[in-house]
Amino acid sequence: MASSTSTTSTSTWTNQRRRFLSSSKDVLGSSSSSISFCKKPNARTAQNSTLCALQTPSILQFPKQSVGKTSTCPVELPSSSSSSSSSPVVQQNWNVLQKFAAMALDAVEDGLKAREKLQTLPKTADPNVQIAGNFSPVPEQPVRHCLPVAGKIPEHIEGVYLRNGANPLFEPTSGHHLFDGDGMIYAVKFDNGSASYACRFTETQRLVQERAIGKPVFPKAIGELHGHSGIAKLLLFYARGLCGLIDVNQGLGVANAGLVYFNNHLLAMSEDDLPYHVRVTPSGDLKTGGRYNFDGQLKSTMIAHPKLDPVSGELFALSYDVIQKPYLKYFWFSPDGKKSKDVAIDLGKPTMVHDFAITENFVVVPDHQVVFKMSEMITGGSPVMYDKEKVSRFGVLDKYAENGSDIKWVEVPDCFCFHLWNAWEEPESDEVVVIGSCMTPADSIFNECNEELKSVLSEIRLNLKTGKSTRRPIISPENDVNLEAGMVNKNLLGRKSKYAYLAIAEPWPKVSGFAKVDLSTGDTQKFIYGDEKYGGEPLFLPRDPNSEAEDDGHILAFVHDEKTWKSELQIVNAMTMELEATVKLPSRVPYGFHGTFINAKDLATQA
């Protein structure tokens, strides 16, 4: 993998209302009074950072600076005062006993942190690795209109492009994984060839309470919940809840992963909570409406990748549980938001089901080898683990099934797909075809490992008659690249599609461009963002739902220049693979997760 020399810059949290460790030495071994997550690694550090497939030296690269000149990396300081909604001041409502309990629990927490400082964090939980460079957080930005545009914005692009991401409000006080950050949405609104930009936190109950208290108190699911210290932090969390210092019944989620627009609602999601309703204002700003339970119908979490059927207008979703059965539930919503009953799917053990697929008549549910084993925390391990004894499989269930016992399981050994791009039926061969990126090692995103991560775009065929499967790489080995995050033409979701538009995740985990892949031949056209420019998930926006050509449309992607430390939105013609317009953004956009586009007509009918 490519790597280059890093240079120094700073990114700090300095809000005086927040309560941090007494010095940055507590986390990073520095005596500075403020925390810097952008440190220049020495040669030994850079070499060692390749040991984990998730993090390579590329994640520690920062903008080059000229000697004697002002840094090209401006310091951007998250400020709770910039929030788009007010927060309760929790401490003012505490009685004397609660204040005493708060002090006692804080003292216990300080002791726990002192013990943690004696241990070395794995790179998958080290904030100095996980949120360095352009993975580091930014503050909210109010709407900026009439942004500079190079080229011409295509006429059919009218509405708003939104992308979600993990953007921690507070400095991590211990372990932190990239996925643990608070949800922030970055929005570019298009109106008659003009563009505006804003970014806002999704005001989750977790963020609102932590902002009011002035420090992080909710445990971080991946970065902190491992080993004995993870158990202690869970106990601290529930002790604060029992004392009435926090409300543990209003959701723990960060809403930082997926976005979907359904039944006049923009929903921000992470698989650990209900969705959050977010509204796009006429000016292009973002306002959080709160946790959204579909008018009281949804009583469980919902994964961040629900599937919107382009023909029926129905929304299909899953919910998984890591503690009690049923470990997995399936349900769907009618176009007007009426929920079906939950359909329990029998899994032998709690499993991470981050994504799934739909076809015209079925849902396709992966049951892979990344599982949850809470007892591992007792022996000092992580509850997210790879189960080498388990055989991966895919379940095929009728879309409108009322009983999960009707699911047909087909084994697909040694297959872990974090994301599935599409699926369709081929009745002539009794097969369901699934397109996904098969990732190895399967748990390398969550647990430190020595093996280099690979993500292979694959065609998986599930024969419903024989119960057998086949799997093949779509791109020839000599031309293969890591492809992770992307989509097909949304009008063909669940139907046979020719193309997929996927992020080129190299040098991993950064994205140097995207690939347009012919799923039948493996022919690949690449678009590279530019020298030392990296981005994220490409979003394909069809020009017209009735276009004869499947690739008639444009690809939108946020891109960050690591030389100038500036960000932009690139708009690429999907047919010619040529850049047509670039929107210059007023502030940095960190590398993030998944997005969506809401057209102007739908914006006008928001709830």
Binding site per annotation, positions for Fe cation? 305, 354, 419, 594
Dist CA 127 CA 122 (whole Å): 10
Please identify which residue in the block is written with the tokens 């102007």.
Answer: 600
Closest CA to 303 of 275, 341, 334, 322: 275
H or E segment to which residue 259 belongs? strand 258-262
Please identify which residue in the block is written with the tokens 């920062």.
Answer: 62
As a residue count, the chain comes to 607
Which own/partner contact pairs does 466-475 have at CB distance under 8 Å and 24+ positions apart? 466/430, 467/408, 467/409, 467/410, 468/410, 469/394, 469/410, 469/411, 469/412, 471/412, 471/415, 471/438, 473/522, 474/435, 474/517, 474/519, 474/522, 475/517, 475/522, 475/524
User: 374 to each of 36, 121, 351, 353, 367, how far by Cα in Å?
Assistant: 33, 20, 12, 17, 18
Closest CA to 329 of 341, 320, 337: 320
Q: Residues within the annotated binding site?
A: 305, 354, 419, 594
Closest CA to 182 of 170, 197, 195: 170
Closest CA to 357 of 292, 303, 281: 303
Would you say 383 and 372 are in contact if contact means Cβ atoms under 8 Å apart?
yes
Write the single-letter amino acid at 313. Answer: G
Contacts of 381 (CB under 8 A, 6+ apart): 226, 227
Closest CA to 545 of 311, 363, 234, 269: 311
H or E segment to which residue 539 belongs? strand 539-542
Would you say 131 and 568 are in contact if contact means Cβ atoms under 8 Å apart?
no
Closest CA to 537 of 428, 418, 441, 359: 418
Dist CA 390 CA 348 (whole Å): 10
User: Would you give the end-to-end CA distance of the chain in angstroms?
Assistant: 47
